[in-house]
């Protein structure tokens, strides 16, 4: 089967020789080099990239596409930082909020018992500390002991742990004891300090982001990783970002999924930059799937790109559609995404996946299948 596949590429005379060489490596299950990743971005035609990405997807996940029943809590949008791409914080949003603990618990109470995960992330509030979040996690766990708590991006963690003057390990242990189960992938943006200086100068550095995730992984706390693309970065920056993640994954293996996040240009300081095309978005999924050979899952985050494009991404290496969300996130609606009230029923999710000729699998937060 694989040799037939390889032959297909070799026979396609339109494919330049260096790309054929990369195709042979991918089909043979070999890792590609950073310069080969850049070449895929620069020279790879979309159909060619899709075939390679799909080869990797099938090898890792057969025909399964995962989803979860989940909801978000965004505690506040009052932020000490002022990232230039951000449309969510109080600096740019038309709304400013700071939920009380009781309001957040009410959101937890309002979810039905089949919901498996809460995703908690928001802005870096100047007055909130690790003790506040520890109390919040404890209260959520006592209400719903079965709920997986994925909470606090590395950017939020860095702020509250530094404020408490303790080590990352001590901080994570403290939160883990209160109910923290895993860490979301936000705040990674692009691992390049010059770019960060331009777009998010005051937030956690690349090094800090990676150190927090690696500390968590050493403790058995898994996480995800994101990449914000389509602003002022180039392909070299994207591949550098993914190389650092791939190396980290080789060391500790704690990342579950990679989540490319498309820059949206409404209501922020980078509004003059055009958004990427659909071709660029699909190319980005495909190259990520090919390059990150040690990441088990690639997520098409539908509240960001919309349901139709998330469905399309299933033909470009994506095997995870995130979750039902239940209209509980505003991060991308505030940035102009088409999903202004992101909500998906389980049957809609399943039919969207089936329509793409994939097998829908409901999962828990650690990708254990819960049934079809």
Distances (CA, A) of 172 to 179, 182, 217, 225, 278: 10, 10, 11, 17, 38
Q: Which burial class, exposed, middle or buried, applies to 190 when counting CB atoms under 10 A from its CB (0-12, 13-18, 19+)?
A: buried
Site string (22-61) toward ligand SF4, x via CB under 6 A: ----------------------------------------
- 266 part of the interface to ligand SF4, by CB under 6 A: no
Pairing of strands 359-363, 64-68: parallel
Residues that contact ligand SF4, how many (by CB under 6 A)? 12
Helix (H, G, I), strand (E, B) or coil at 266: coil
- 367 part of the interface to ligand SF4, by CB under 6 A: no
- 124 part of the interface to ligand SF4, by CB under 6 A: yes
Please pick, from the candidates 43, 82, 139, 141, the single residue that binds ligand SF4 as defined by CB under 6 A.
82
| 149, two tokens | 């708590």
- 155 part of the interface to ligand SF4, by CB under 6 A: yes
Window contacting ligand SF4 (CB under 6 A); options: 49-57, 78-86, 255-263, 271-279: 78-86
How is 196-215 classified by DSSP, letter by letter? HHHH-TTSPPHHHHHHHHHH
Answer positive or negative: Cα dihedral of 118, 348, 367, 47: negative
Window contacting ligand SF4 (CB under 6 A); options: 60-68, 83-91, 209-217, 249-257: 83-91
Q: Which burial class, exposed, middle or buried, applies to 290 when counting CB atoms under 10 A from its CB (0-12, 13-18, 19+)?
A: buried
Minimum gap (Å) between residue 10 Cβ and ligand SF4: 45
Closer CB to ligand SF4, residue 49 or residue 83?
A: 83
Please pick, from the candidates 32, 79, 172, 353, the single residue that binds ligand SF4 as defined by CB under 6 A.
79
| 207, two tokens | 């090094």
How is 27-61 classified by DSSP, letter by letter? HTTPPPPHHHHHHHHHH--HHHHHHHHHHHHHHHH
Window contacting ligand SF4 (CB under 6 A); options: 84-92, 144-152, 230-238, 342-350: 84-92
- 203 part of the interface to ligand SF4, by CB under 6 A: yes
Helix (H, G, I), strand (E, B) or coil at 140: helix
Closer CB to ligand SF4, residue 155 or residue 314?
A: 155
- 81 part of the interface to ligand SF4, by CB under 6 A: yes
Distances (CA, A) of 317 to 121, 358, 365: 27, 12, 20
- 276 part of the interface to ligand SF4, by CB under 6 A: no
Closer CB to ligand SF4, residue 246 or residue 262?
A: 262
Residues in touch with ligand SF4 (CB under 6 A): 79, 81-83, 86, 88-89, 123-124, 155, 200, 203
């Amino acid at each position: 089967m694989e040799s037939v596949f390889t032959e297909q590429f070799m026979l396609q005379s339109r494919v330049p020789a260096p790309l054929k060489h990369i195709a042979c490596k991918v089909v043979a299950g070999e890792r590609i080099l950073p310069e080969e990743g850049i070449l895929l971005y620069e020279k790879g035609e979309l159909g060619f990239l899709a075939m390679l990405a799909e080869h990797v997807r099938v090898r890792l996940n057969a025909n399964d596409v995962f989803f979860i029943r989940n909801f978000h809590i965004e505690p506040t949008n009052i932020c000490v930082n002022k990232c230039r791409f951000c449309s969510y914080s109080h600096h740019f949003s038309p709304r400013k909020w700071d939920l009380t603990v009781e309001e957040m618990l009410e959101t937890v109470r309002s979810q039905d018992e089949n919901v498996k995960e809460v995703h908690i992330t928001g802005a870096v509030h100047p007055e909130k500390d690790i003790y506040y979040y520890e109390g919040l996690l404890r209260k959520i766990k006592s209400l719903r002991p079965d709920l997986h708590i994925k909470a606090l991006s590395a950017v939020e963690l860095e702020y509250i742990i530094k404020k408490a003057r303790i080590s990352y390990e001590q901080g994570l242990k403290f939160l883990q004891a209160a109910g923290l189960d895993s860490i979301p992938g936000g705040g990674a943006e692009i691992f390049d300090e010059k770019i960060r200086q331009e777009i998010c100068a005051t937030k956690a550095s690349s090094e800090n982001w990676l150190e927090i995730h690696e500390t968590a992984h050493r403790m058995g706390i898994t996480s995800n990783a994101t990449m914000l693309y389509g602003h002022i970065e180039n392909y070299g920056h994207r591949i550098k970002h993914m190389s650092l993640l791939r190396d980290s994954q080789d060391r500790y293996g704690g990342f579950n999924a990679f989540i490319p996040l498309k820059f949206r240009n409404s209501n922020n300081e980078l509004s003059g930059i055009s958004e990427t095309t659909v071709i660029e978005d699909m190319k980005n999924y495909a190259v990520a799937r090919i390059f990150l050979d040690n990441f088990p899952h690639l997520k098409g985050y539908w509240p960001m790109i919309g349901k139709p494009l998330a469905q399309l991404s299933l033909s470009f290496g994506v095997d995870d559609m995130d979750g039902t969300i239940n209209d509980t996130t505003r991060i991308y609606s505030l940035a102009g995404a088409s999903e202004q009230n992101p909500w998906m029923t389980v049957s809609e999710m399943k039919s969207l996946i089936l329509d793409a000729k994939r097998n829908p699998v409901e999962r828990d937060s650690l990708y254990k299948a819960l049934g079809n």
